[in-house]
């Protein structure tokens, strides 16, 4: 039920009819024809560019096409007026019944209102978080987790088959550092002074790991060289850290479908196979890279490396996949991992990275492009910094070494749901300010509160209606005489509700979950506005005396608003509240 899509279909059909009637050349491409809510109220209720985009290929003037198109459209029951304006815009005014139909659709469809099939059941893999398993999640990870999760919800709602995936970076040197750090805590557990030297992880969160190691090994690892314990301690420590991270994610309300391990790629031939696949395409060669201009490292020496010809797929320079000692660079297992995702049959891949990984985007896209023969698009969303504040002052945790603002800190102070909503009030690629005081403020400045307050008012209307003896379940409301809702202010709210299915498609097309948050704010604003008008115009109040047809219709509108708010909040992963406390 996307009214704008229906009107667009009507226009495309009319264009087809015009071609049959000889008024237009046959076989015109209508892909660029759009129908959208006009910004300006003076331009009708739905506007189309159809005549303008077809004018050139048809060899006709836009206004001539628009005139004939308008005449045909005016025949349709849903359209009460079709005007040609400006250079050839088609401005349509719709019958109130068309908007009222949206209210009924929302009531009938409930939580599925706005659900789309544009994904056509295609499979998309969303990889996000992928924090190193060397400690608890910190604030920097939170935004990526929320964006990835909300995007996954959005795509699922738009008809995609979504896999949420976490790539565990457990194959590099950082997990050796973790093991050595944990070993010091193990020594500490035996009453020895830990030697947390430079480069080790100093965080207190490893103390319990030391205890766990003591419980497991007793004193058998003390005074032994790391060749005796490194591998085992590494595995135990990374497992414990992953348990910690999974708990962090759960606290935020994020649940992954798949955890993939980098380490598991080693020794199985997967990396070698992926590299060989590229080599067979003549995309792997031995060569020497030029030093970066203007920022030459002091110790630069030309050296022969195994390189991936990523420039053949849009990168700026070729990238090394092997270190000079023959071991793989971090890029090699990443290539193998993405090859694995391609081989699992996904139709699209999405990676959510921190903005500091921006330099990694082109080579990863190049690798996926090469390994899938251009079949599988990879979209990489860069998530920018979160700056923490409290009452406008930069927020810092203790400067003591090893402490940082963790995900748990954020969730315990702001709550998971508020955090999720606030993290989506910016586009992913711009920095975001997060003020612990403001996000809990109960005022219009706070979008979470503003949207929830709208829903609470809706809950209030529903309660009052029930108390007055009305049957306000969705099935009863769907039978209400919605033709009684004709006031322009009510039509405005219905139009905003009608935008929801369209917004889902737009947001999903661009992989932009933040649009949902902005839409909810607009919808809440429209609802509050109508509520407030009821102060001056009693006929616009939602709660009307008596169990009349008018009362029922108004409650139906209120409930439809609630349906749209709930659907949007569900994508953000936020539970709507029926009451403010």
Partner RNA sequence: GCACCCGUAGCUCAGCUGGAUAGAGCGCUGCCCUCCGAAGGCAGAGGUCAGGGGUUCGAAUCCCUUCGGGUGCGCCA
- Within residues 363-402, the interface with RNA by CB under 7 A covers 382, 384
- Within residues 396-435, the interface with RNA by CB under 7 A covers 426-427, 429-433
Interface residue with RNA, options 122, 323, 408, 487 (CB under 7 A): 323
Interface residue with RNA, options 26, 27, 39, 282 (CB under 7 A): 39
Interface residue with RNA, options 104, 362, 420, 496 (CB under 7 A): 362
Give 218 or 392: the residue with its C-beta nearer to RNA.
392
Q: Kindly give the pairing relationship between strand 284-288 and strand 304-308.
A: antiparallel
Position 25 contacts RNA (CB under 7 A): no
Judge whether 354 and 382 are in contact, CB under 8 Å. Answer: yes
**Binding string to RNA for residues 196 to 235, with x set by CB under 7 A, is what?**
----------------------------------------
Binding segment toward RNA, per CB under 7 A, in 33-41, 97-105, 112-120, 140-148: 33-41
Residue ranges of E strands in 370-487: 378-383, 386-390, 393-394, 432-435
Give 113 or 337: the residue with its C-beta nearer to RNA.
337
List 126's β-bridge partners, or say none: 164, 350
Binding segment toward RNA, per CB under 7 A, in 136-144, 225-233, 403-411, 449-457: 449-457
Give 14 or 452: the residue with its C-beta nearer to RNA.
452
* Least gap, CB of 311 to RNA (angstroms): 11
Residues 6+ apart with CB under 8 A from 500: 113, 114, 519, 523, 564, 567, 568
- Within residues 122-151, the interface with RNA by CB under 7 A covers 132
Residues 6+ apart with CB under 8 A from 167: 127, 130, 260, 262, 337
* Least gap, CB of 211 to RNA (angstroms): 27
**Binding string to RNA for residues 161 to 200, with x set by CB under 7 A, is what?**
--------x-xxxx--------------------------
Give 171 or 573: the residue with its C-beta nearer to RNA.
171
As a whole number of angstroms, the distance between CA 275 and CA 329 comes to: 12
- To the nearest 10 degrees (0 to 180), the angle between helices 514-536 and 447-467 is 50
Sign of CA dihedral 222, 223, 228, 229: positive
- Within residues 283-312, the interface with RNA by CB under 7 A covers 289, 291-295, 297, 299-303, 305
Interface residue with RNA, options 216, 224, 344, 444 (CB under 7 A): 444
* Least gap, CB of 519 to RNA (angstroms): 9
- Within residues 526-555, the interface with RNA by CB under 7 A covers 528-532, 534-536, 541-543
Give 143 or 502: the residue with its C-beta nearer to RNA.
502
* Least gap, CB of 88 to RNA (angstroms): 7
Binding segment toward RNA, per CB under 7 A, in 106-114, 154-162, 237-245, 322-330: 322-330
Binding segment toward RNA, per CB under 7 A, in 95-103, 106-114, 352-360, 562-570: 352-360
Position 453 contacts RNA (CB under 7 A): yes
- Within residues 59-98, the interface with RNA by CB under 7 A covers 62, 85-89, 91
Position 487 contacts RNA (CB under 7 A): no
User: What torsion, rounded to 10 degrees, do the Cα atoms 104, 109, 114, 115 define?
Assistant: -160
Give 110 or 292: the residue with its C-beta nearer to RNA.
292
Position 37 contacts RNA (CB under 7 A): yes
* Least gap, CB of 217 to RNA (angstroms): 27
**Binding string to RNA for residues 496 to 525, with x set by CB under 7 A, is what?**
------x---x-----x-xx--x--x---x
Give 242 or 543: the residue with its C-beta nearer to RNA.
543
Judge whether 518 and 422 are in contact, CB under 8 Å. Answer: no
Give 211 or 347: the residue with its C-beta nearer to RNA.
347
Q: How many CA atoms lie within 13 A of 7 on its CB side?
A: 32
Give 184 or 526: the residue with its C-beta nearer to RNA.
526
As a whole number of angstroms, the distance between CA 509 and CA 148 comes to: 15
As a whole number of angstroms, the distance between CA 259 and CA 547 comes to: 55
- The per-residue DSSP string of 134-170 comes to TS--BHHHHHHHHHHHHHHHHHHHTT-EEEEEEEE--
* Least gap, CB of 526 to RNA (angstroms): 10
Interface residue with RNA, options 22, 26, 56, 475 (CB under 7 A): 56
Closest CA to 317 of 286, 346, 291: 291
Backbone angles phi, psi at 206, to 5 degrees: -90, -10
As a whole number of angstroms, the distance between CA 487 and CA 479 comes to: 20
Judge whether 431 and 385 are in contact, CB under 8 Å. Answer: yes
- To the nearest 10 degrees (0 to 180), the angle between helices 488-509 and 514-536 is 170
* Least gap, CB of 87 to RNA (angstroms): 4
List 40's β-bridge partners, or say none: none
Binding segment toward RNA, per CB under 7 A, in 30-38, 196-204, 476-484, 485-493: 30-38
Q: Kindly give the pairing relationship between strand 89-94 and strand 79-85.
A: antiparallel
As a whole number of angstroms, the distance between CA 292 and CA 435 comes to: 39
Position 262 contacts RNA (CB under 7 A): yes
For residue 561, give both structure tokens: 């608003």
Give 239 or 578: the residue with its C-beta nearer to RNA.
578
Give 172 or 377: the residue with its C-beta nearer to RNA.
172
Question: Which residue reads 């077809």 in tokens?
Answer: 54
Long-range contact set of residues 108-113: C-beta below 8 Å, sequence gap at least 24: 108/474, 108/478, 109/1, 109/563, 110/474, 110/563, 111/563, 111/566, 111/567, 111/570, 112/567, 113/1, 113/500, 113/501, 113/563, 113/564, 113/567
* Least gap, CB of 422 to RNA (angstroms): 11
User: What torsion, rounded to 10 degrees, do the Cα atoms 437, 440, 445, 449 define?
Assistant: 170
Sign of CA dihedral 241, 242, 247, 248: positive
What is the size of the binding site for RNA (CB under 7 A)?
Answer: 104
């Amino acid at each position: 039920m996307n009214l704008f899509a229906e009107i667009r279909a009507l226009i495309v059909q009319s264009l087809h009819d015009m071609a049959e009637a000889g008024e237009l050349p046959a076989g015109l491409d209508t892909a660029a024809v759009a129908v959208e809510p006009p910004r300006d109220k003076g331009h009708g209720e739905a506007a189309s560019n159809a005549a303008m985009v077809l004018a050139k290929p048809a060899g006709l003037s836009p206004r001539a096409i628009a005139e004939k198109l308008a005449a045909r459209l005016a025949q349709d029951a849903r359209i009460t007026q079709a005007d040609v304006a400006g250079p050839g815009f088609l401005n349509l005014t719709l019958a109130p019944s068309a908007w009222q139909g949206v209210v009924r659709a929302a009531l009938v469809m409930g939580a599925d209102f706005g659900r789309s099939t544009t994904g056509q059941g295609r499979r998309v893999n969303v990889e996000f978080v992928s924090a190193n398993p060397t400690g608890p999640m910190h604030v920097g990870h939170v935004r990526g987790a929320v964006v990835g999760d909300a995007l996954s919800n959005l795509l699922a709602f738009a008809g995609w088959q979504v896999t949420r995936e976490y790539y565990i970076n457990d194959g590099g040197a950082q997990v050796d550092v973790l093991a050595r750090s944990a070993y010091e805590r193990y020594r500490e557990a035996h009453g020895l002074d830990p030697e947390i030297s430079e480069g080790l992880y100093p965080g207190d969160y490893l103390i319990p790991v030391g205890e766990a190691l003591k419980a497991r090994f007793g004193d058998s690892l003390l005074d032994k060289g790391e060749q005796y314990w490194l591998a085992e301690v590494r595995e135990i420590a990374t497992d414990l850290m992953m348990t910690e991270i999974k708990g962090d994610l759960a606290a935020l309300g994020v649940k992954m479908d798949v955890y993939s391990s980098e380490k598991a790629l080693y020794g199985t031939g997967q990396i070698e196979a992926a590299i060989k696949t590229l080599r067979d395409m003549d995309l792997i060669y031995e060569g020497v890279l030029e030093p970066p201009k203007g920022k030459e490292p002091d110790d630069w020496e030309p050296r022969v490396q195994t390189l991936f010809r990523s420039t053949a797929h849009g990168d700026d320079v070729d990238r090394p996949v092997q270190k000079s000692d023959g071991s793989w660079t971090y890029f090699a297992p990443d290539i193998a991992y993405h090859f694995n995702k391609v081989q699992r049959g996904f139709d699209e891949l999405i990676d959510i990275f921190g903005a500091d990984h921006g330099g990694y985007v082109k080579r990863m896209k190049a690798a996926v492009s090469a390994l899938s023969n251009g079949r599988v698009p990879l979209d990489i969303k860069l998530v920018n910094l979160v700056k923490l504040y409290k009452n406008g002052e930069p927020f810092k945790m203790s400067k003591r070494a090893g402490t940082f603002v963790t995900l748990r800190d954020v969730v315990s102070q702001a709550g998971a749901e508020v955090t999720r909503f606030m993290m989506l009030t910016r586009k992913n690629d711009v920095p975001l300010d997060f003020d612990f005081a403001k996000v809990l403020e109960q005022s219009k400045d706070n979008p979470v509160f503003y949207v929830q307050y709208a829903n609470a008012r809706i809950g209030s209307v529903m309660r009052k209606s029930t108390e007055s003896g009305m049957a306000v379940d969705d099935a009863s409301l769907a039978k209400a005489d919605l033709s009684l809702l004709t006031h322009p202010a009510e039509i405005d709210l219905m139009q905003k509700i009608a935008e929801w299915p369209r917004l889902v498609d737009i947001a999903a097309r661009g992989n932009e979950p933040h649009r949902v948050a902005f839409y909810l704010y607009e919808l809440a604003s429209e609802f509050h506005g109508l509520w407030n008008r009821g102060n001056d115009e009693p006929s616009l109040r939602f709660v009307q005396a008596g169990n009349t047809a008018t009362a029922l219709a108004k409650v139906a509108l209120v409930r439809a608003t609630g349906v749209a708010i709930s659907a949007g909040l569900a994508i953000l992963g936020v539970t709507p509240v029926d009451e403010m406390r």
